[in-house]
Amino acid sequence: MAEQSNNSQELPERPKEEQEGEKGPSKSALKKAAKEKEKAEKAAKRQAEEAAKKAADDANDVSKEDYGDLPMLGSQPYVPHADSAKRISLTELAQQNEDVSGKEVTFRAIVENARNQAAKLSFVVFRQGISTIQGVVAASDKLSRQMVKFAGSIPSESVVLVHALVEKPKEAVKSTTIQHLEVHVKQLFVIAKAEPQLPMQVEDAERPLPGEGEEQVENEGRPIVTLNTRLNNRVIDLRGKHNHAIFTIKDGVTLLFQEYLRSKGFIGANTPRLLGAPSEGGASVFEVSYFATKAFLAQSPQLYKQMLIAARFEKVMEVGPIFRAENSNTARHLTEFTGLDLEMAFEEDYHEVVTLLEELMLFIFNGLRTRYKLETDLVRSIYHVEDFALPAAGSVPRLTFAEGIQMLRDDGVEIGDFDDLSTPDEKRLGALVLKKYGSDFYVLDQYPLAIRPFYTMPSAETQAKYDASKPNDGYSNSYDFFMRGQEIMSGAQRIHDAGFLEKRMKEHVTPVDPKSEGLRDYVNAFRYGCPPHAGGGIGLERIVMLWLGLPNVRLASLFPRDPGRLAP
């Protein structure tokens, strides 16, 4: 195999002067030429000697079958053999209770870095997922110096195939995540060689980014790699161990969301992203060229999940992309994010749904704590954040909006009864709730009607005191959920009666036309018997960001989209 790694030796180029020579050469030119010739001859001789030595070395290379560059997999006829595809996981190896030293293992890994320590010794750090282990390549009567040199020269980030003996190191290895084991390499092949110059280093991606408005802190003299550079080179950035942890956690939230709701009888739905007309406020909707006409990208599955309730699907959930054409360039906004949505019919009171949503969130938080502890700890070792304070089961703080306003006033904030909460107010209220109830997670219920969408059910009191001249006064059966003082979910009881819905559409602060193309089918869905229902929509990236204390929501999106970014 080793032969394949030898770069073909090119002959030295002839001196340029020899190729020219129309007119007679000058004396100094002749002298120079002679010198060049001598130099070239020496070089050629040296080259020849080296080649001969190399040929002799290769002939004497006891390891020549044990290292080198593999041909591109899939490009050679494949013959299955006994050991085909039997590979070990480094993480699993490290977690074995039995003594694994002396065991022979084969694994595919990434070269995190490789260095020639001496002529007879190279070290290669191998990485698999979030685990790294030290590899020792030591010359012996069975392992040639050529192989040692080859191992120490593999470019970082190359993919390699390793056959090795597991050993206990004399003392714990400090520079790898697996510290109580190392591998003594017996065979080492490069599967895919990385180019030597990377646009950024993976280790630089593993240092924290500053929060909004904070200064980037230089770390151990390493270059500053900005968020923009990282996102421009996202494939390399994502190789960072903390990024693997972040997206494992993100997938975990989805899994826990679906697992809990399925256990409660919810069915997953796929509602359309392409709509014939904007339905929820035309300002922040993306327009699509659709054959001879136009389409619009869904800003939420709101209207469709309600239509599914009207279609007798009692409990529906959906995980899917959400598009918002908001020109907001903040650390909290994306133009495309993942919505975790649900809607359910209830029996008597919309708080049945609020309770289910609280239990859902507690299930997710507890699942993250137990099943994703390793990943959470890894990310928090980079982005330091207080542990997430969870309420005891069944006692999620649930305040009315009015109570929330009162808490803010008691704390010195000047705010009107029906004013929407600003982001600083929300954070302040979150801090007050944490202090009073010991929970980073709480619910604010009964929001003012005027600041909620047209489909929101007014509260009982609001309906009882209805005043036609002030149709948007009072509260509504709606709620927001908060983590660390930031909103992660918005929800409400929806109006399930077509006549009342039409009335509210016309009376809303921002009136909409019930007969418009985008709303007609929606309103009609409630004419033929629809049960009372409520639901909510959760921003997946926000949960991940707030659970981990990330400084920017972009860090919770594999390939984030904002008004200025559509690539990679």
Catalytic residues: 324, 326, 332-333, 487, 490, 542
The per-residue DSSP string of 206-244 comes to TSPPPPTTPPPPP-TTPPP--HHHHHHTHHHHTTSHHHH
Residue with tokens 């049960």: 531
d(CA 431, CA 465): 34
- Shortest approach of a second copy to residue 489 CB, angstroms? 18
Name the nearest CA neighbour of 210 among 562, 565, 552: 552
Q: Mutual orientation of helices 373-382 and 351-371 as an angle, nearest 10°?
A: 80
Among 16, 19, 20, 80, binds a second copy (CB under 8 A): 80
Among 145, 193, 332, 371, binds a second copy (CB under 8 A): 193
d(CA 564, CA 131): 35
Amino acid at 38: E
Verify binding: residue 529, a second copy, rule CB under 8 A: yes
Total of residues contacting a second copy (CB under 8 A): 118
Comparison of 149 and 193: residue with beta carbon closer to a second copy = 193
Name the nearest CA neighbour of 536 among 250, 316, 282: 316
- Shortest approach of a second copy to residue 460 CB, angstroms? 5
What would the x/- binding string for a second copy be over residues 83 to 122, using CB under 8 A? Answer: -xx-x--------------------x-xx-----------
Among 43, 274, 389, 509, binds a second copy (CB under 8 A): 274
Stretch that binds a second copy, among 43-51, 220-228, 305-313, 424-432 (CB under 8 A): 305-313
Comparison of 195 and 215: residue with beta carbon closer to a second copy = 195
Interacting residues with a second copy between 309 and 368 (CB under 8 A): 310-314, 319-321, 323, 325, 327, 335-336, 338, 345-352
With 0-12 / 13-18 / 19 or more C-beta atoms within 10 angstroms meaning exposed / middle / buried, residue 246 is buried
Stretch that binds a second copy, among 152-160, 210-218, 396-404, 429-437 (CB under 8 A): 152-160
Verify binding: residue 248, a second copy, rule CB under 8 A: yes
Comparison of 148 and 231: residue with beta carbon closer to a second copy = 231
Per-residue tokens: 110: 């990434």
Stretch that binds a second copy, among 24-32, 417-425, 505-513, 557-565 (CB under 8 A): 557-565
Interacting residues with a second copy between 4 and 33 (CB under 8 A): none
d(CA 478, CA 494): 9
Q: What angle do CA 328, 330, 333 make, to 5 degrees?
A: 65
d(CA 184, CA 166): 6
- Shortest approach of a second copy to residue 536 CB, angstroms? 15
d(CA 474, CA 466): 9
Verify binding: residue 36, a second copy, rule CB under 8 A: no
Among 21, 272, 438, 511, binds a second copy (CB under 8 A): 272
Verify binding: residue 517, a second copy, rule CB under 8 A: yes
